[in-house]
């Protein structure tokens, strides 16, 4: 048998090697904090912890935050590894999964890597990138084991409401499937406790991290919320991968979770200001059309004429500005703009984006 296994993510490789620019609008989360932005003492740190399956103070802090039982929490290196552990625990090679389109490409690559048979359901620009439960139902088969959704949606930033998620959950329940919701952007609602689909039913599994909403990607503090039996299977699976986390990171994550209120305030102020800047920019452009979510840190405009690839190239080469080409999300007429950076960079980057668009007219 000639099996071709996916072992790379084209998007992640691009993000690591090609997205940097003087005016970087390609980053999707809040700009990274520095160590000095966190209050902690060296006495809070230790090299080695006790307990093989999670650092209890971290597990408990997350359980308290989400108001769930500690047995439902699994920690992992970022949402990335949380997605990997969750998906690997939930499916066997050959299982059918239903993944949204457009999708965050590493999720698609991961599903292929795990040997899933990947079917897609569309989130259409014309429908405001909404999830249609009817469309999911049409694509479900008796072999579907998992439905995968991002909320907010990456790349469009669109929020999926609980009613829609409940309908998807009901479809999954009837078909003996589960729903994996990547909620890494949902935390940008900044609700306390955070809004989560985990409470919508036992078929929901949720992944997230401190990366996007709080600018704490460097901590790699990710987690999965799952029913206790499933959570246990993910911990056991992790024995084949990372085995144990970096303990100093776990300690710093506990310190960070205690300070989220302060970090949140700064993040909210920045996002509000930057959303205004981006909305003003979009108001002034008749060559772009966009769904404009009221929250979050990303938008996914469409170039009415011409090619977004050409725009992205020109923007990078001549205008020292980067956005993410829509081809990474299977929609080459679009590009993704991030608004989590500092406002001066965004303002200048948008000015330059306007210059590149004018040049291509």
Instruction: Return the number of the residue (78 or 169) whose C-beta is nearest ligand PLP.
Output: 78
For ligand PLP, the closer of residues 147 and 356 by Cβ is 147
Q: Which is nearer to ligand PLP, 59 or 356 (CB)?
A: 59
Considering beta carbons, is residue 173 or 195 the nearer one to ligand PLP? 195
Please say which residue, 28 or 197, places its beta carbon nearer to ligand PLP: 28
Strands (E), 116-269: 117-122, 144-150, 178-182, 204-209, 221-225
Question: How many angstroms separate the Cα of 264 from the Cα of each of 158, 194, 337, 340, 345?
Answer: 20, 12, 21, 12, 21
- Could you give the CA distance from residue 241 to residue 24 in angstroms, rounded to a whole number? 33
Residue length of the chain: 361
The enclosing H or E element of 359 equals helix 343-360
Nearest approach in angstroms of CB 290 to ligand PLP is: 18
Least Å distance, CB 211 to ligand PLP, is 4
205 within 8 A of 23, measured Cβ to Cβ = no
First to last CA, the chain: 51
- In angstroms, give the least distance from the CB of 40 to ligand PLP: 20
Closer to ligand PLP by Cβ: residue 300 or 319: 300
What's the min distance (Å) between Cβ of 286 and ligand PLP? 30
Residue 211 · residue 63 · CB < 8 Å: no
Nearer to ligand PLP by Cβ, of 330 and 348: the residue is 330
- Give the separation between CA 333 and CA 304, rounded to whole angstroms: 8
Q: Which two tokens stand for residue 281?
A: 């920019």
Closer by beta carbon to ligand PLP, 144 or else 209: 209
Rounded to a whole number of angstroms, the minimum distance from the CB of residue 224 to ligand PLP is: 12
List the beta bridge partners of residue 144. 96
Q: Smallest distance, Å, CB 194 to ligand PLP?
A: 15
Q: How far is the CB of 282 from ligand PLP (least distance, A)?
A: 21
Q: Which token pair is 320?
A: 């020292």
Helix, coil or strand: residue 361: coil
The SS3 call for residue 92 is coil
Residue closer to ligand PLP (CB basis): 26 or 356 = 26
Run of H or E residues at 234: helix 228-238
Close Cβ partners of 64 (under 8 Å, ≥ 6 residues apart): none
Give me the least distance between CB of 97 and ligand PLP, in Å please.
16
| Residue placing its CB nearer to ligand PLP in the complex, 175 or 340 | 340
Burial zone of 94 (CB within 10 Å; 0-12 exposed, 13-18 middle, 19+ buried):
exposed
| Residue ranges in contact with ligand PLP by CB under 6 A | 28, 78-80, 104, 150, 154, 182, 184, 209, 211, 217, 222
Question: What is the nearest approach in angstroms of ligand PLP to the Cβ of residue 195?
Answer: 16
Q: Which helix (H) or strand (E) holds 224?
A: strand 221-225
Residue 151 CB contacts under 8 Å (≥ 6 apart), including other chains: 159, 160, 165, 181, 182, 183, 185, 186, 197
Minimum Å distance from CB 332 to ligand PLP?
19
CA nearest to 353, candidates 309, 295, 314, 296 = 314
Rounded CA gap, 350 and 182, in Å?
29
């Amino acid at each position: 048998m000639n099996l071709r296994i996916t072992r790379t993510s084209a998007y992640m490789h691009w993000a690591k090697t090609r997205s940097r620019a003087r005016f970087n609008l390609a980053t999707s989360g809040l700009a990274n904090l520095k160590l000095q932005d966190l209050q902690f003492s060296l006495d809070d740190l230790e090299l080695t912890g006790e307990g093989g399956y999670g650092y209890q103070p971290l597990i408990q802090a997350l359980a308290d935050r989400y108001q769930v039982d500690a047995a439902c929490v699994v920690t992992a290196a970022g949402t990335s590894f949380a997605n990997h552990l969750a998906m690997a625990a939930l499916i066997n090679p050959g299982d059918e999964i239903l993944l949204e389109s457009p999708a965050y490409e590493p999720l698609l690559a991961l599903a292929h890597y795990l040997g899933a048979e990947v079917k897609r359901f569309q989130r259409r620009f014309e429908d405001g990138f909404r999830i249609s439960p009817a469309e999911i139902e049409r694509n479900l088969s008796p072999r579907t084991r998992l439905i995968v959704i991002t909320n907010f949606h990456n790349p469009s930033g669109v929020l999926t409401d609980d009613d829609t998620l409940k309908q998807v959950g009901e479809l999954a329940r009837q078909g003996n499937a589960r729903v994996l919701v990547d909620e890494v952007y949902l935390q940008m609602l900044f609700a306390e406790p955070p809004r989560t689909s985990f409470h919508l039913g036992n078929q929901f599994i949720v992944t997230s991290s401190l990366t996007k909403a709080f600018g704490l990607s460097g901590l790699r503090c990710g987690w999965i919320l799952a029913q206790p039996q499933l959570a246990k299977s993910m911990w056991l699976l992790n024995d084949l991968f990372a085995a144990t986390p970096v303990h100093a990171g776990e300690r710093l994550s506990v310190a960070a979770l205690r300070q989220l209120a302060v970090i949140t305030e700064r993040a909210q102020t920045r996002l509000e200001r930057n959303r205004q800047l981006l909305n003003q920019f979009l108001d002034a452009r008749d060559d772009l059309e966009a769904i404009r979510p009221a929250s979050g840190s990303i938008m996914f405009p469409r170039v009415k004429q011409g090619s977004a690839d050409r725009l992205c190239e020109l923007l990078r080469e001549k205008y020292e500005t980067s956005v993410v080409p829509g081809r990474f999300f299977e929609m080459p007429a679009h590009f993704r703009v991030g608004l989590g950076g500092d406002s001066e960079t965004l303002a200048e980057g948008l000015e330059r984006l306007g210059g590149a668009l004018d040049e291509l007219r």
